[in-house]
Amino acid sequence: MFKTFQTYKLLFIRLILIIAAIEISIYFFKIDLIFTGVFGLFIVFLLIREMYFYVRNFVLLYDKTISSILQNDFTSDFTKHKFNRSYDDLFHLYDTLKNKQNEQVSKDIIYRSILNNIETGIIILQKQDSDWNVFLMNEYFSKQFNVPKVSKWKYLKNQLPSLCEIIEEDNFQEIKTSIEISINEQNKQTFVLQASRTEIFEKDYFIVLLDSIQNVVEKKEKDAWVNLMKVISHELLNSITPIRSICQNLQDLVEQDSLSAEDLEDIKNSVETMLRRSDHLQKFVEGYRKLAMLPSPKKEEIELQDLIDNCLQIMNPLFKENQIEVLSNIAFKRWINVDSQQVEQVLINLLTNCIYAVKNAELKQIIISAEAKENRIFIKISDSGTGIEKEIENKIFLPFFTTRNEGAGIGLTLSKNIIEAHGGYISFKTEEGRTVFEICLVE
């Protein structure tokens, strides 16, 4: 504001000087000082000319700067004008916007680089009037579906009609489904389609994600194999390493000419240790066989409450021994079609885990509840224990993973396989500080 006032002040001074020069020149003409009056008019001409160029340059510089800002063109160099303090605010605004644009361009380059390196087909549409334009298409989408980077929805529709028709049928609203797309007239491939719509600064965007089911399955299979091999190699090394060390020690003992009573005692202890480790390996292999050779469920109709009561009756001695309060909050009668022995095993596994979870808790309580909705039965088992640590949440269903010294690590994995063989799922979450395992079964 002060600098603007200074600019106006300079213009005002120039105007006063011009008026004063004109008045003086007129005065000289009145007193017949003709040449002095002409000289005064010449001075007036020079002052008017200087003022004209000052105002002209001032306006041109402002126009150029404002035009650059409006057109997002920050390539102009105004350093030669920076000595003039009248332009400080203007140049400060220009530099601020230039820095912000450079920062935004850098972010756009990084975001686009990230999107182009993701192995998921991504396309973002932007609505303009009643039409949709392609705002962004990542490299994976373009290469996977052999689509050039078009700018209009109608061009994309010509390239991928099967995808575009589904989106149009749902009127560009949220979608989550599977879709078969034929690429280059080859066999159709199945993709998971997820789409969402959002509004940012009064602009409408539609985001489409496409994942190849084959890639998803292969990645999950690879991750599962890697995790399984880690567990197997860990268990094998934990047993083979001490057994090899013991065998080396036994070899040294038997190569002696004579054996003392102490040597015989060492041999006896070594053999016992090898037997223990061998038993552990045998249990490990048997556990793996249970997982790999799980029989198909032999389903039969059974009342849900009876199934729960049978499990509680089996576990009751352990509940009493550990002074655990068990609450069964099932207030409805419902028949379910399951393999009762297998599902009982799942419930027993979960209740056993609950017993260990509340072992050191002040309040030792287990709650069993159930609800029916949308042709499904949801059985919930919660305990008042310390809960599952964040670090192991993604490992608890892995084969042979356990936090207990005496645990085999197959209980939850076996339970998960049994429930999935029944067409349901098992999951866990934390509700009000309690760990809750939820079993979903289809009626």
Structure confidence by residue, pLDDT tens digits, 1-38: 434 556 666 777 778 887 887 888 887 777 877 777 78
Structure confidence by residue, pLDDT tens digits, 311-348: 888 888 888 888 888 888 887 788 888 888 888 888 88
Tell me how far apart the alpha carbons of residues 115 and 109 are, in angstroms, rounded to a whole number.
10
Does the domain spanning 118-213 belong to CATH 3.40.50.2300? no
Kindly report the pTM of this predicted structure. 0.42
Q: Is the dihedral of CA 357, 361, 364, 370 positive or negative?
A: negative
Dihedral pair phi/psi, residue 188, rounded to 5°: -70, 145
Pairing relation of β-strands 325-329 and 365-373?
A: parallel
Structure confidence by residue, pLDDT tens digits, 149-174: 888 888 888 888 888 888 888 888 88
Q: Is 117 helix (H, G, I), strand (E, B) or coil?
A: coil
Domain spans in the chain, listed from the N-terminal domain onward: 2-99, 118-213, 216-292, 300-442
Residue 100 has pLDDT above 70, yes or no: yes
Tell me how far apart the alpha carbons of residues 207 and 134 are, in angstroms, rounded to a whole number.
10
Which residue did the predictor score with more confidence, 262 or 153?
Answer: 153
Mean pLDDT score of the chain, rounded to an integer? 77
DSSP 153-211: HHHHHHH-HHHHHHHHHTTT--EEEEEEEESTT--EEEEEEEEEEEEETTEEEEEEEEE
Residue 129 has pLDDT above 70, yes or no: yes
Any idea which of 45-54, 176-185, 327-336 has the lowest mean pLDDT?
Answer: 176-185
Q: Is 325 helix (H, G, I), strand (E, B) or coil?
A: strand
- For residue 275, the model assigns a pLDDT of 75
3-state helix, strand, coil in the chain (%, to 5): 55, 20, 25
| Mean pLDDT within 132-140 | 88
- For residue 298, the model assigns a pLDDT of 84
Q: Which fold has domain 216-292?
A: Helix Hairpins (1.10.287)
- For residue 2, the model assigns a pLDDT of 39
Tell me how far apart the alpha carbons of residues 381 and 436 are, in angstroms, rounded to a whole number.
6
Q: What's domain 300-442's architecture?
A: 2-Layer Sandwich (3.30)
Question: In which band, very low, low, confident or very high, does the pLDDT at 82 lie, cut at 50, 70 and 90?
Answer: low
Which residue did the predictor score with more confidence, 424 or 393?
Answer: 424
- For residue 27, the model assigns a pLDDT of 77
Which residue did the predictor score with more confidence, 186 or 360?
Answer: 360
Tell me how far apart the alpha carbons of residues 54 and 37 are, in angstroms, rounded to a whole number.
25
